[in-house]
């Protein structure tokens, strides 16, 4: 399930983040992946212990967790602090699948990566190439969103970032462990929740809507992995 979450950040918020990142010290992006990923990854990232990255990441997570669409689609239990990446001069990240487990920084806790998120911090016309390509049973989907928008997709998906041939692609990426492990079940809950919200806006509260809401919460109760 690919979900486009628009306007997670406002344009002024993106501009402020970009201003801080313009003075950052970038490191080799291969430092945060395993052996397989290191073979195909060519980009730069802020180190995971960067004070600037941690501060900006905390701000982004607050915006993300306040976004109803993200919460409905991801049903997050916990998330890894966002990483910040930059691509230019042909840099890319070839086809890969995200690692199943990531350790949370500064403690011994780990999380299962169910949902991957890419938050775009560059406008599409600022760079050429750099499309996020995600493969699923329906084919290969190219994603290149406005700055401040986010794409959410299953961490089990085969995906890549194509080479950036001109300009710079700046983004933030992070992973979430969902309360519901199965992507198919999350998709059903997301669609059911969307239907409930649409009906509530169209006809208001009624016994049938109460019943649908009950079904949603009973399915979430049955499928949640807590």
C-alpha closest to that of 73 among 110, 103, 116: 116
Q: Is the pLDDT of residue 112 over 80?
A: yes
> Domain coordinates of the chain in residue numbers?
3-178, 183-223
DSSP state of 224: -
Per-residue tokens: 3: 């979900």
The model's pLDDT over 59-74, given as tens digits with 9 standing for 90+, comes to: 999 999 999 999 999 9
Q: What is the rounded distance in angstroms from the CA atom of residue 96 to the CA atom of residue 155?
A: 10
C-alpha closest to that of 103 among 125, 78, 134: 78
Other CB atoms closer than 10 Å to residue 4's CB: what's the count? Answer: 12
Given CATH 4.10.860, say whether it is the number of domain 183-223.
Answer: yes
The model's pLDDT over 17-31, given as tens digits with 9 standing for 90+, comes to: 999 999 999 999 888
Selected residue with higher pLDDT from 36 and 200: 200
Q: Is the pLDDT of residue 34 over 90?
A: no
pLDDT (average), residues 54-60 = 97
**Helix/strand/coil percentages in the chain, nearest 5:** 35, 30, 30
Give the pLDDT of residue 93: 96
pLDDT (average), residues 174-203 = 97
Q: Number of C-alpha atoms within 13 angstroms, CB side, residue 108?
A: 0
| CATH top-level class of 3-178 | mainly beta
Prediction pTM value: 0.94
* pLDDT band of 104, cuts 50, 70, 90: confident
Q: Examine domains 3-178 and 183-223 and report if their fold is the same.
A: no
**Which position has the token pair 């212990």?**
49
* pLDDT band of 35, cuts 50, 70, 90: confident
* pLDDT band of 226, cuts 50, 70, 90: confident
With b meaning 16 or more CB within 10 Å and e meaning fewer, what string describes 114-131? bbbbbbbbbbbeebebbb
Identify the H or E element spanning 36: helix 35-38
Average pLDDT, the chain: 95
Is residue 21 a contact partner of residue 85, using CB atoms and an 8 Å limit?
Answer: no
């Amino acid at each position: 399930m690919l979900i486009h979450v628009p306007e997670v950040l406002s344009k002024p918020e993106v501009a402020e983040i970009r201003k801080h990142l313009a003075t950052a010290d970038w490191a080799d992006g291969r430092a945060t992946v395993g052996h397989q990923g290191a073979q195909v990854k060519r980009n730069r990232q802020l180190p995971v212990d960067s004070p600037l990255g941690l501060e900006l990441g905390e701000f982004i997570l607050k915006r993300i967790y306040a976004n109803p669409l993200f919460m409905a689609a991801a049903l997050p239990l916990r998330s890894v602090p966002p990483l910040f990446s930059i691509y230019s001069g042909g840099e890319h990240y070839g086809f890969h699948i995200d690692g199943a487990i990531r350790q949370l920084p500064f403690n011994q806790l780990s999380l299962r990566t169910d949902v991957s998120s890419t938050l775009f911090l560059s406008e599409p016309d600022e760079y050429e190439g750099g499309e996020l390509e995600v493969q699923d049973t329906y084919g290969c989907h190219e994603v290149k969103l406005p700055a401040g928008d986010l794409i959410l997709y299953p961490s089990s998906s085969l995906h890549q970032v194509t080479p950036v041939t001109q300009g710079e692609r700046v983004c933030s990426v992070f992973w979430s462990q969902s309360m519901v492990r199965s992507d198919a079940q999350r998709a059903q809950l997301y669609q059911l929740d969307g239907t409930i919200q649409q009906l509530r806006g169209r006809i208001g509260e009624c016994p049938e809507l109460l019943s649908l809401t009950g079904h949603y919460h009973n399915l979430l109760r049955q499928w949640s992995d807590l």
